[in-house]
């Protein structure tokens, strides 16, 4: 709108000036060196404007000609800069494909192009150098490159991230934690920094600081609310285990109760809480804890803990208690397997067979290894037929493997649950997984410029577990 008004004003001024000179033409006389020129004012003004226009055009042309060499040098420098960034991009692509030699070749070409163009080394070249060194296995060169990246604000965060990976790979979790905290100072909302700080504090056994970091991670949405609740539950169990190992029974019981209250269906929380209750002489309450968790999920760990709570009773009485568990989840094969194991310990062969039939022994399969072993034991004691026992033992070699705790990071089966994977030291990474889903649980790592996972480091401090229940 303003431009339109300015254009209208300009047109009005020009028209007004034209009319003024048309009504009052006037005369202009110039006498110079014997030359005399007489003309109107309008023609004189037009002549002056023409001379000014010629001078401007001449100045522009002369400036264009004189600045041509400088422009050519600037264009050549820009071309070299673009060529250098193209080589850096190709080098990063080579890094993503795992070709360290190709990445180094492109990096050198990029540095040569930047030098010819009169440009310094860009921060991105340091990242390419560090990643190429990691692919070649040159950790010292990678360390130097990541350290140099700290000097530039654009790459300081990536530099800290790379140094964290180097420290964790070397097993220096304390140094990795310090570097992660510095990275968080640069980017407080970084999900990566919060998650790694939580994992490192857990690996170092600093459960209190890990709890504070978890609250911050949930607040900044680096961890979802659902995952945050599960992590909090794991940290509470770890707190309880630490208190138990230090003979602080009251704190151990309090933390265990808090963990169980967050989710009664979480098996490790239920078994840990019930075990402490057993050792504190509160067996009836421990039984109720196991039954509440069992009603949500039939789990062998729950059955083993339940059996340990009844260790002072005769086998026949324990079998009757297990009938209560079976009634809570009578449609679950795992419930009948637990009932069968308890019946076998009480030498109730017929009752054990009935439970195993309900668990699928009479069906065409597939059977689990545990079911086959229990059926073989029933055949040995009830019918005393070596052929039947041998048949089920042979079937066990081809049967589905029993569910187990599996680390989603390193695929290790530790046998028992713990807050930290004993193999790779990952925090809260153990999942209860069925044989049919085991292959699907393997995590496929995505290629990234910087590795997203924490490498294996030192083991977390050992914690004294509550006395393990006898096998059921």
Q: How many CB atoms lie within 10 A of CB 128?
A: 26
Q: How many other CB atoms are found less than 10 A from the CB of residue 157?
A: 20
Q: Per-domain residue ranges for the chain? A: 72-154
pLDDT of residue 440: 46
Measured CA to CA, the distance from residue 231 to residue 217 in angstroms comes to 11
Residue 116 sits at φ, ψ, to 5 deg, of -65, -35
Measuring CA to CA, which residue among 448, 419, 425 is closest to residue 169? 425
Q: Which single residue is written with the structure tokens 């294996």?
A: 456
Question: What pLDDT is stored for residue 110 in this prediction?
Answer: 82
What distances in angstroms separate CA 55 from CA 62, 290, 300, one per listed residue? 10, 99, 97
For the residues of 88-117, what is the DSSP string, one character each? HHHHHHHHHTT-HHHHHHHHHHHHHHHHHT
CA distances 222 to 90, 164, 177, 189, Å, are 32, 18, 17, 8
Enumerate residues 6+ apart whose C-beta is below 8 A from 242. Answer: 205, 207, 463
CA atoms within 13 A on the CB side of 12: 6
The pLDDT assigned to 279 comes to 92
Q: How many CB atoms lie within 10 A of CB 121?
A: 14
Q: How far is CA 240 from CA 59, 246, 418, in A?
A: 85, 10, 12
CA distances from 319 to 201, 289, 298, 416 (A): 44, 18, 16, 25
Which positions ≥6 away from 404 have C-beta within 8 Å? 413, 415, 432, 433
Q: Residue 28: what pLDDT?
A: 66
pLDDT in tens, the chain (472 residues): 788 888 888 887 777 766 666 666 677 676 776 777 777 766 777 777 788 888 888 888 888 788 778 878 777 777 787 888 888 888 888 887 787 778 878 888 887 887 777 777 787 787 888 888 888 888 888 888 888 888 888 889 989 999 998 898 888 989 999 999 999 999 988 899 999 999 999 999 999 999 999 999 999 999 899 999 999 999 999 999 999 999 999 999 999 999 999 999 999 999 999 999 999 999 999 999 999 999 999 999 999 999 999 988 899 999 999 999 999 999 999 999 999 999 999 999 999 999 999 998 888 878 899 999 999 999 888 877 678 889 999 998 888 888 999 998 888 889 899 999 998 888 999 999 876 554 444 443 333 333 333 333 343 333 334 444 333 3
User: Contact at 8 Å (CB) between 177 and 150?
Assistant: no
Mapping DSSP to helix (H, G, I), strand (E, B) and coil, where does residue 34 land? coil
How buried is 314 (Cβ within 10 angstroms: 0-12 exposed, 13-18 middle, 19+ buried)? exposed
Instruction: Specify burial of residue 9 (Cβ count, 10 A radius: 0-12, 13-18, 19+).
Output: exposed
What pLDDT is stored for residue 465 in this prediction?
41
Token pair 């496929």 in the structure block, residue? 444
Q: What is the 3-state secondary structure (H, E, C) of 138-156?
A: CHHHHHHHHHHHCCCCCCH
**295 in helix, strand or coil?**
coil
Give 61: exposed, middle or buried? Use CB within 10 Å, 0-12, 13-18, 19+.
exposed
What is the number of residues in the chain?
Answer: 472
Other residues' Cβ atoms within 10 Å of the Cβ of residue 150: 19
Q: Residue 426 phi/psi, 5° resolution? A: -75, 145
pLDDT at residue 21 in the model: 64
Check: CB of residue 139 under 8 Å from CB of residue 455: no
What angle is formed at CA 466 by the lines to CA 463 and CA 468, rounded to 5 degrees? 115
Q: In whole angstroms, what is the distance from residue 450 CA to residue 232 CA?
A: 28
């Amino acid at each position: 709108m303003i431009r339109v008004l300015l254009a209208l004003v300009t047109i009005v001024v020009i028209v007004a000036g034209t009319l003024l000179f048309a009504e009052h033409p006037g005369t202009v006389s110039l006498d110079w060196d014997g030359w005399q020129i007489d003309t109107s004012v309008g023609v004189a003004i037009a002549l002056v404007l023409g001379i000014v226009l010629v001078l401007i055009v001449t100045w522009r042309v002369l400036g264009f000609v004189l600045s041509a060499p400088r422009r050519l040098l600037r264009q050549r420098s820009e071309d070299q800069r673009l060529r250098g960034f193209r080589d850096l991009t190709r080098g990063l692509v080579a890094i993503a494909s795992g070709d360290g030699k190709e990445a180094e070749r492109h990096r050198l070409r990029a540095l040569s192009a930047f030098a010819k163009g009169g440009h310094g080394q860009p921060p991105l070249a340091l990242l390419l150098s560090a990643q190429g060194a990691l692919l070649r296995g040159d950790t010292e060169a990678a360390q130097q490159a990541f350290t140099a990246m700290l000097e530039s604000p654009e790459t300081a965060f990536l530099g800290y991230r790379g140094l964290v990976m180097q420290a964790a790979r070397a097993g220096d979790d304390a140094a990795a934690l310090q570097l992660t905290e510095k990275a968080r100072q640069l980017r407080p909302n970084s999900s990566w920094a919060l998650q790694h700080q939580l994992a490192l504090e857990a690996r170092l056994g600093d459960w209190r600081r890990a709890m504070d970091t978890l609250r911050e991670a949930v607040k900044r949405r680096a961890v979802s609310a659902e995952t945050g609740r599960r992590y909090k539950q794991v940290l509470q169990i770890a707190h309880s285990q630490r208190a138990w190992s230090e003979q602080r029974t009251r704190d151990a019981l309090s933390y265990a109760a808090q963990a169980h209250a967050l989710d009664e269906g979480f098996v490790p929380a239920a078994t840990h809480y019930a075990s402490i209750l057993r050792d504190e002489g509160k067996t009836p309450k421990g039984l109720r804890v196991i039954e509440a968790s069992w009603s949500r999920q039939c789990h062998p760990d729950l059955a083993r803990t339940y059996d340990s709570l009844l260790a002072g009773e005769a086998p026949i009485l324990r079998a009757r208690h297990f009938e209560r568990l079976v009634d809570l989840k009578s449609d679950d094969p795992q419930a009948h397997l637990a009932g069968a194991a308890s019946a076998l310990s009480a030498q109730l062969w017929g009752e054990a067979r009935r439970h195993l039939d309900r668990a699928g022994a009479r069906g065409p399969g597939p059977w689990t290894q545990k079911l086959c072993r229990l059926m073989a034991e029933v055949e040995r004691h009830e019918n005393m037929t070596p052929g039947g026992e041998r048949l089920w033992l042979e079937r066990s070699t081809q049967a589905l493997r029993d569910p187990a705790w599996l680390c989603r990071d390193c695929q290790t089966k530790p046998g028992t649950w713990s807050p930290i994977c004993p193999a790779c030291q990952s925090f809260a990474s153990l999942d209860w997984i069925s044989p049919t889903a085991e292959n699907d649980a393997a995590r496929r790592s995505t290629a990234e410029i910087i590795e997203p996972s924490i490498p294996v480091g030192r083991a977390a401090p050992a914690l004294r577990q509550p006395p393990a229940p006898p096998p059921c």
